[in-house]
Amino acid sequence: MKINFYKYQGAGNDFILIDHTLNPLNNIDNELVKNLCDRRFGVGADGLMFITKHNQYDFEMHYFNADGNLGSMCGNGGRCIVAFAKHLGIIENETNFLAVDGPHYARISDSGEWIDLQMIDVDTINKDGDAFVLNTGSPHYVVEQKDLVDFDVLNEGKRIRYNNIYSEKGINVNFVENMGDYLFVRTYERGVEDETYACGTGVTAVAIAMAKSKNETGHILTKIKVLGGDIKIEFDYDGIKFTNVFLCGPAKLVFAGEVNY
């Protein structure tokens, strides 16, 4: 079986994208997804997405984790699939599409490589000790960490993700250090079960959690630096609910190809 694919990356978070607009999406081979995402025996990626048609939206996004399982919302993946939809000629510079956590709006820069993606509103934030726990389309654990550049994100992230509280459903673990003009963030992602170069729903959760911790309200713009580059988060907070949440960052086509499976 020959599969045509496109490889995109958003701040180093990389994805395989497959155009499925001419065929119904059913009976997905999870082992195939896992093998394609394998960095030694496949194409290599943090996740895989199918784009399909939808009667009420421009398109629908179907996201699978690198382990082959159907995933929750992926923010950087969402930005990449918007760039892919533009590449395919499905949309121009704006779109409304459907993802697993509901509808999303996005706008595209003139270059086509910078995407502002609207995320879901957030009105519930819990605490676990010093950490914040919230859902931005995917569940996230956010904790501040000094000397983050030398921190063991893999093992500490895995310890939290698999502890008695979160092991059943899993959680993404974000470590953040305030660098003054920006926040430095490193993330352990469930489904990948490793540190990734960026996590879109993760940096969104970090920006919201830090605003909550500082009791900041109004229109807030947060600059984020991850291993794969720079991202910006914007939202409005009235002290009760976070609205107009936008994840803003790069989404670039790396290469296209064909693989035999």
Q: Check if 74 is active-site.
A: yes
Please give the Cα distance from 82 to 78 (Å, whole number): 6
Can you spell out the DSSP letters for 45-90? -SEEEEEE--SSSS-EEEEEETTSSBP---HHHHHHHHHHHHHHTS
Clarify whether 80 is annotated catalytic: no
Reduce the secondary structure of 191-259 to three states and give it as a string.
CCCEEECCCHHHHHHHHHHHHHHCCCCEEEEEEEEECCEEEEEEEEECCCCEEEEEEEEECEEEEEEEE
C-alpha 45/C-alpha 66 separation (Å) is 7
Q: Which of 37, 74, 80, 248 is catalytic?
A: 74
Distance, C-alpha 88 to centroid of its chain: 21
Quote the tokens at residue 175.
């470590």
Whether residue 46 contacts residue 14, with contact meaning beta carbons closer than 8 Å, is answered with: yes
* Catalytic choice (37, 80, 199, 248): 199
Encoded amino acid at 258, one letter: E
Q: How far apart are CA 144 and CA 206, in angstroms?
A: 9
**Which amino acids are annotated catalytic?**
74, 199
